[in-house]
Amino acid sequence: MSSIGASRPSFDLNGAKIWKSFLDRAAQREMTEDIRSIAKRAPFLQPMTPWGKPMTVRMTSAGRFGWVTDRRGYRYEEAHPKTGQPWPEIPPSILTVWKAVAETPTPPDCCLVNYYSEKARMGLHQDKDEADFGFPVVSISLGDPATFRIGGSNRKDPTQSVTLESGDVLLMGGEARLAFHGIDRIKFGGSTLLPDGGRINLTLRRVAPAGV
Ligand code: MD6
Ligand code: FE
């Protein structure tokens, strides 16, 4: 049996709540299998920024909406850009985490899946393409450890860093919902969860307003 952690976070970092080891190893393995199934139907893409620079992470999505970026800009789409098919459903193993920590009866309608190989990183950004910032963003880390940096809602606000490890859950809500954040680097090979190494980050979001 896999199990998930307590409802009280381990600590707070610039307003983000962090649950260390929220998922035990069995829950991490189950989720990794579910992500494999998602990627079979909705293959990972190499996203291109609107200014024409390829991103270093690979991305796919589950749920009604997938987050995509290309020369036309950042947006949510209801179909995979290459297959033209709707995104796979968000698996119950992942929905369970939202239900445990998000403090809302409204389900997420997007699970963005990011894969980091050895040199991948994610620059400081805000998540602000969603309709209602009253809903949090919930993030799940799997595989290699990563240095996560978070500041305030202005790009120049001071930042703090923390190592996110496999099974950790992070929630950005309330005042921290629009905080700038990013991934400086991963410690490649620092976990044995993924056979080829690297890190998977899932972010659960509510893109459409409640009830839509
Ligand atoms: C990552 N996370 O952990 C990138 N966004 O790889 C995010 O961009 C993120 O962790 C919104 C809320 C929580 C996050
Ligand atoms: Fe983000």
Neighbours of 40 (CB within 10 A): 9
- Ligand 1 lined by 200 (C-beta under 6 Å): no
Residue 4 pLDDT exceeds 90: no
Provide the residues around ligand 2 (an ion) whose CB is within 5 A: 127
Q: How far is the CA of 203 from the centre of ligand 1 (A)?
A: 6
- Ligand 1 lined by 181 (C-beta under 6 Å): yes
Neighbours of 124 (CB within 10 A): 15
* Per-residue model confidence as pLDDT tens digits over 72-127: 999 999 999 999 999 999 999 999 999 999 999 999 999 999 999 999 999 999 99
Q: How far is the CA of 181 from the centre of ligand 2 (A)?
A: 6
* Per-residue model confidence as pLDDT tens digits over 32-41: 999 999 999 9
* pLDDT for position 1: 60
Q: How far is the CA of 136 from the centre of ligand 1 (A)?
A: 12
pTM exceeds 0.95, yes or no: yes
- Ligand 1 lined by 183 (C-beta under 6 Å): yes
Residue 7: pLDDT band by 50, 70, 90 thresholds?
A: confident
Q: Output 2-6 pairs: Cβ under 8 A, ≥24 positions apart.
A: 2/26, 2/27, 2/29, 2/30, 2/93, 3/27, 4/96, 4/97, 4/100, 5/100, 5/169
